Amino acid sequence: MNEEILINITPQETRVALIQQGAVQELQIERTRQRGIVGNIYLAKVVRVLPGMQSAFIEIGLERTAFMHVADITQNNPQAQIEKLLFEGQNVLVQVLKDPLGTKGARLTTQLSIAGRNLVYLPPAGTDIAAEKYIGVSQRIDQPEERDAIKARLAGLMPADEKGGIIVRTSAQDASDTELEHDMHYLRTTWERIREAVNHKPAPSLLYQDLSLAERVLRDVAGEETTQIRIDSAENFEKLKGFATLYMPNLLDKLTLHRGERALFDLFDVDAEINKALGRRVDLKSGGYLMIDQTESMTTIDVNTGSYVGARNLDDTVFKTNLEAAQSIARQLRLRNLGGIIIIDFIDMLSKDHQDSVLNELKRNLERDHARTSISEFSSLGLVEMTRKRTRESLAHITCEPCPTCQGKGEVKTAQTICYEILREIVREHRQFNPREFRIVAAPDVIDLFLEEENQFLAQLGDFINKPIKLQAESSFRQEQYDIVLS
């Protein structure tokens, strides 16, 4: 499959688009002032231990304290109790698993890992593994003979005195022994620098910062199928060339500096795709559509046939719409970087074969997803429940904020509802303060309603309280915003 990576860099932000078969499949954005902290390693301080929740609040120097569960401290002892592992005021070495999101603080672990191009290093201080060499293999390498072969290669390359662990990434299959040794040396050297910093810095302190977005993309995303990596910043092009020279020389020939008159993202209409990915509705080629709603706790996706009537009968129409929806959903999850719990409401299918085909289509299209996913079978209600590993914020969380008019609800009160609220408020104010007159200051649509449909109620209220009620339209007011001025 033809694959290109576009890297747009400005002083304010870095944006990356993954293009496959001429279409945008993934988007990543990193703001300079809001850079994610996943992968960062801190010397932290325990603030509070909560035995009832088997968790602790940890200070790492951010606005909100971070959170760590007992399972993030020890993986091989299900009977472990957090109050026996941590105490308030204790200094502890931690790594960020998840960025802060909404009202939630960062999620931490003491199971440290440092990722390279081909290998992931598990330092001995951050692993439950016995003090001996350990080699794990990525689940994506699923053939037993391939797993055994790569483990044997690594066992011969690891130093005899190594006490930490190594996890082999899929890219290691095609790496030479020299490349693997280089990767291992880099990771061990990085760990030694972190250990040295522990002795000289107070808690809380940042000891290790993960790579920039552009560097992470070279490390984690670019592969054999990548034909070109275009960068539109000359300064960062040189930096990435230097980074690739040291850690992934096989990518050097694929790096190109974009100098065209057209903006880099305009080549594939990436900005238009970003705007589409921020909307609720996704139209399908067949005439059906998806409705995607993202909340802090989960994402729901509703599939609808819309105007599609192309099949011979209803069952075929539903089946073909669901098949197309499965393909689109997989793309939208990557495009929007949606994570956590995802509930998909496919159109009801009576045939078990149709259900299996749709589920297989969804799984097949998620095979290229770099995030780990888990998909359930259809429930009795026809719902598919899945999870997608969430480490960084979604596209919407990075680029949008709650609507100031509806406060993020997605709906606003009608002008009529506001009129009736104002009438009730005037009655309350009259009983409490008994002023000479009232002046209603509200949005133009609300004032228009008082002058037209609700004019009779307003006049009746004026007669009831025996006070004049004046109206003033304020164009800067939102529909739900109003003031009642007493004089």
**Mean pLDDT confidence for 261-265:** 89
Q: Across the beta sheet with 114-115, what order do the strands follow?
A: 114-115, 119-122, 165-168, 134-137
Per-chain mean pLDDT for the chain: 89
Alpha helices in 136-231 (DSSP H): 144-157, 177-198, 213-220
Q: Both 344 and 454 in a single domain?
A: no
Q: Both 126 and 64 in a single domain?
A: yes
Rounded Cα gap, residues 477 and 455, in angstroms: 21
Domain containing 326: what range? 280-398
End-of-domain residue from the set 398, 423, 451: 398
Rounded Cα gap, residues 286 and 284, in angstroms: 5
Domain membership of residue 406 (yes or no) is: no
Bridge partners of 107, per DSSP, are: 67, 98
End-of-domain residue from the set 271, 294, 309: 271
Q: Both 201 and 104 in a single domain?
A: yes
Q: Across the beta sheet with 289-294, what order do the strands follow?
A: 281-283, 289-294, 298-304, 340-345, 383-388, 373-378
Structure tokens at 333: 């999850």
Rounded Cα gap, residues 463 and 468, in angstroms: 8
Q: How many domains does the chain have?
A: 4
The more confident residue out of 122 and 390 is: 122
pLDDT tens, residue by residue, 300-354: 999 998 765 555 677 888 999 999 999 999 999 999 999 999 999 999 998 999 9
pLDDT of the residue at 127: 44
Q: Both 388 and 285 in a single domain?
A: yes
Q: Both 51 and 196 in a single domain?
A: yes
Residue 18 has pLDDT above 50, yes or no: yes
pLDDT of the residue at 484: 95
Q: Is 139 helix (H, G, I), strand (E, B) or coil?
A: coil
pLDDT band at 296 (very low <50, low <70, confident <90, very high): confident
The pTM of this model reads 0.76
Domain membership of residue 407 (yes or no) is: no
Domain membership of residue 405 (yes or no) is: no
pLDDT tens, residue by residue, 82-132: 999 999 999 999 999 998 877 889 999 999 999 988 899 998 855 444 445
Q: Both 304 and 255 in a single domain?
A: no
Question: What does DSSP say about strands 373-378 and 383-388: parallel, antiparallel, or unpaired?
Answer: antiparallel
Q: Both 186 and 232 in a single domain?
A: no
- Is 169:119 a contact under the CB 8 Å cutoff? yes
Domain membership of residue 403 (yes or no) is: no
- Is 341:298 a contact under the CB 8 Å cutoff? yes
Domain membership of residue 315 (yes or no) is: yes
Domain membership of residue 409 (yes or no) is: no
Q: Both 251 and 307 in a single domain?
A: no
- Is 59:106 a contact under the CB 8 Å cutoff? no
- Is 336:396 a contact under the CB 8 Å cutoff? yes
What percentage of the chain carries pLDDT values higher than 70? Answer: 96
pLDDT of the residue at 131: 46
SS3 content of the chain, % helix, strand, coil (to 5): 35, 25, 35
**Mean pLDDT confidence for 242-249:** 86
Q: What's 266's domain CATH number?
A: 3.30.420.60
pLDDT tens, residue by residue, 50-76: 999 999 999 999 989 999 999 999 766
Diameter of the chain by CA atoms? 95
pLDDT of the residue at 205: 95
Rounded Cα gap, residues 236 and 227, in angstroms: 20
Q: What's 321's domain CATH number?
A: 3.40.630
- Is 281:320 a contact under the CB 8 Å cutoff? no
Q: How many residues does the chain have?
A: 487
Please give the helix or strand (H or E) that residue 355 lies within, else none: helix 352-365
**Mean pLDDT confidence for 11-31:** 92
Rounded Cα gap, residues 6 and 214, in angstroms: 10
pLDDT tens, residue by residue, 439-456: 999 999 999 999 998 899
Alpha helices in 260-306 (DSSP H): 270-277
Q: Which of 61, 65, 37 is nearest to 49 (CA)?
A: 65
Structure tokens at 320: 């073909």
Q: Both 54 and 136 in a single domain?
A: yes
pLDDT tens, residue by residue, 149-200: 888 888 888 887 777 889 998 878 877 888 888 888 888 888 999 999 998 8
Which residues lie below 8 Å from residue 151, measured CB to CB, with a gap of 6+?
A: 135, 137, 168
End-of-domain residue from the set 175, 190, 208: 208
Rounded Cα gap, residues 306 and 324, in angstroms: 13
Domain membership of residue 404 (yes or no) is: no
Residue 78 has pLDDT above 80, yes or no: no
Q: What's 62's domain CATH number?
A: 2.40.50.140
455: exposed, middle or buried (C-beta count within 10 Å: 0-12, 13-18, 19+)?
A: exposed
Sign of CA dihedral 436, 441, 444, 450: negative
> Distance of CA 406 to CAs 410, 412, 479, Å?
6, 5, 9
Q: Both 64 and 197 in a single domain?
A: yes
Residue 138 has pLDDT above 50, yes or no: yes
pLDDT of the residue at 130: 41
Q: Both 48 and 168 in a single domain?
A: yes
Domain membership of residue 434 (yes or no) is: yes
Q: Both 176 and 76 in a single domain?
A: yes
Which residues lie below 8 Å from residue 70, measured CB to CB, with a gap of 6+?
A: 54, 55, 80, 81, 82, 85
Question: What does DSSP say about strands 438-442 and 23-31: parallel, antiparallel, or unpaired?
Answer: unpaired
